[in-house]
């Protein structure tokens, strides 16, 4: 299942596609399928997560 890479996920949403994600504060985290998006690691508050655009390391 391919997820729209521009789609934002909120804290508490389920991860549909495993991979690296970045929150609004720019903090990165790796998530596995079925995990739940956590609060921002920098602020501890609810945030939006998007797929990390630089995931390939290019």
- CA-based nearest residue to 19, from 8, 3, 38: 3
57 vs 30, residue with greater confidence? 30
* Beta carbons of 35 and 15 less than 8 angstroms apart: yes
- Given this model, what pLDDT does residue 3 score? 53
C-alpha 44/C-alpha 54 separation (Å) is 24
User: What predicted TM-score, i.e. pTM, was given to this entire model?
Assistant: 0.81
Tens digit of each residue's pLDDT (9 = 90 or more) over 8-56: 999 999 999 999 999 999 999 999 999 999 999 999 999 999 999 775 5
- Given this model, what pLDDT does residue 6 score? 74
Parse the chain into domains and list their residue ranges: 1-58
Whether 1 shows a pLDDT value over 60: the answer reads no
């Amino acid at each position: 299942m391919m997820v729209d890479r521009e789609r934002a996920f909120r804290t508490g949403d389920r991860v549909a596609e495993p991979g690296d994600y970045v929150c609004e504060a720019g903090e990165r985290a790796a998530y596995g399928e079925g995990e739940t998006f956590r609060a921002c690691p920098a602020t501890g508050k609810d945030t939006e997560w998007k797929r990390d655009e630089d995931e390939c390391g290019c």
